[in-house]
């Protein structure tokens, strides 16, 4: 096939003056090149398209592709991940990964948890606040955990995200509202083991590649898989595949959540155990990072014995199968 690749290059935004944390979700040239190389090995011809603006320019110039491999994160707004798929849908061009509705929903962690709860899956009690006055209405037990409602790559999560009293909660929420200019998700803190489950496939064909436990070393910020821990994972985090009873519970919840949210092709679901050892849904990443070295999904796949080229082959196979059935 002739496959176009859509993406947002981090370096382009850094050159415009944006900061390292602001651009943390965006991709490197290394990632784009790795995807193109892997697809080439699978026998496909690839075309680097770029971001939303470049996609629009090429579409208006009547350029078309058999499939678009979409990793474009977007940059502004809670609908940013849905922008490229919306445009591709308008032109009836098939693409990998989830559709605009799913990407718009899942970027908002609070709305996603509402759906997960309605599906009957375990997720800790939560609320979303837009100003500090709403804190007065909370009836949760401490400790709590607070983070921006619509960020990825653990942006906005630090050692301060675990909150032990009302004074600290007010201060943290005020800071997050000011810095990220979006609502804040507040949920009961989960003290137990943390997992990320790698998933491939769509609907009934969904299966778990493996369950990876995220173990924080003594050098890490404790209490959460924070932005700094993720950015400096070599020195702060140990990853290992696990298959014990608790991990299997995490996998079962993740597969049901993936199917229930109607996610497609490949991605990750993060879970953490409560004080009784039950894995609770934290969030889903239906547009997971694909850097072959440091992104969680390729790391998990590698630990499970799945090479990078094979992982991308699974993604293409899933997309082609569901497109064929559409």
Tokens describing residue 294? 């440091």
Q: How far apart are CA 97 and CA 315, in angstroms?
A: 8
What percent of the chain has pLDDT above 70?
A: 99
Q: What is the pLDDT of residue 219?
A: 84
Q: What is the pLDDT of residue 225?
A: 80
Reported CATH class of domain 125-188: alpha beta
Q: How confident is the model at residue 230 (pLDDT cuts 50, 70, 90)?
A: confident
Q: 219 Cβ partners below 8 Å, 6+ apart?
A: 235, 236
Binned at pLDDT 50, 70 and 90, residue 196 comes out as very high
**CA–CA separation, 322 vs 99, rounded Å?**
12
pLDDT, mean of residues 90-99: 98
pLDDT at residue 232 tops 80: no
Summarize pLDDT for 35-84 with one digit per residue, the tens. 999 999 999 999 999 999 999 999 999 999 999 999 999 999 999 999 99
Is 153 a residue whose pLDDT tops 90?
A: no
Q: Look at residue 98 in the predicted model and tell me its pLDDT.
A: 98
Q: Do domains 2-95 and 191-325 have the same CATH topology?
A: no
Query: Strand order in 279-285's β-sheet?
Result: 237-241, 207-216, 194-200, 266-273, 279-285
Q: Tell which wins on pLDDT, 17 or 226.
A: 17
Nearest to 187 by CA among 145, 227, 159, 223: 145
Rounded to an integer, the average pLDDT of 90-97 is 98
- Per the prediction, the chain carries an average pLDDT of 95
* Low-confidence winner among 16-25, 225-234, 278-287 (lowest mean pLDDT): 225-234
Average pLDDT over residues 168-175: 96
* CATH class in words for 191-325: alpha beta
pTM of the predicted model, to two decimals? 0.94
With contact defined as beta carbons under 8 Å apart, do 283 and 195 qualify?
no
Return the pLDDT at 227.
Answer: 67
CATH of domain 2-95: 3.40.50
Question: 214 with 225: CB under 8 angstroms?
Answer: yes
What Rg, from alpha-carbon coordinates, does the chain have? 19
Show me where the domains of the chain are located: 2-95, 125-188, 191-325
């Amino acid at each position: 096939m002739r496959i176009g690749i859509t993406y947002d290059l981090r370096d382009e935004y850094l050159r415009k003056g944006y900061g390292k944390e602001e651009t943390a979700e965006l991709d490197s040239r290394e990632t784009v090149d790795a995807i193109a190389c892997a697809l080439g090995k699978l026998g496909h011809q690839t075309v680097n398209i770029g971001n939303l603006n470049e996609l629009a320019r090429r579409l208006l110039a009547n350029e078309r592709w058999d499939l678009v491999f979409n990793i474009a994160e977007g940059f502004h707004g809670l609908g940013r991940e849905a922008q490229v798929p919306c445009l591709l849908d308008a032109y009836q061009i098939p693409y990998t990964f989830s559709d605009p509705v799913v990407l718009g929903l899942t970027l908002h962690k609070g709305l996603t948890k509402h759906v997960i709860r309605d599906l009957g899956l375990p997720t800790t009690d939560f609320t979303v606040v837009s100003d500090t006055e709403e804190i007065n209405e909370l009836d949760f037990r401490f400790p709590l955990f607070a983070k921006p409602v619509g960020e990825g790559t653990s942006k906005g999560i630090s050692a301060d995200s675990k909150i032990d009293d009302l004074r600290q909660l007010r201060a943290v929420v005020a800071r997050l509202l000011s810095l990220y200019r979006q609502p804040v998700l507040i949920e009961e803190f989960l003290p137990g083991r943390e997992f990320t489950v790698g998933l491939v496939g769509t609907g009934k064909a969904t299966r778990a590649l493996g369950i990876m436990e995220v173990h924080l070393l003594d050098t890490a910020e404790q209490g959460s898989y924070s932005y700094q821990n993720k950015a400096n994972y070599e020195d702060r985090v140990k990853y290992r595949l696990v298959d014990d009873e608790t991990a299997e519970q995490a996998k079962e919840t993740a597969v049901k959540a993936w199917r229930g949210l109607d996610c497609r092709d490949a991605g990750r679901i993060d879970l953490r155990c409560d004080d009784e050892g039950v894995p609770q849904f934290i969030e889903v990443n239906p547009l997971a990072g694909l850097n072959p070295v440091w992104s969680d999904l390729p790391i998990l796949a590698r630990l499970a014995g799945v090479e990078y080229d094979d992982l991308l082959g699974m993604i293409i196979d899933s997309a082609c199968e569901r497109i064929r059935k559409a």
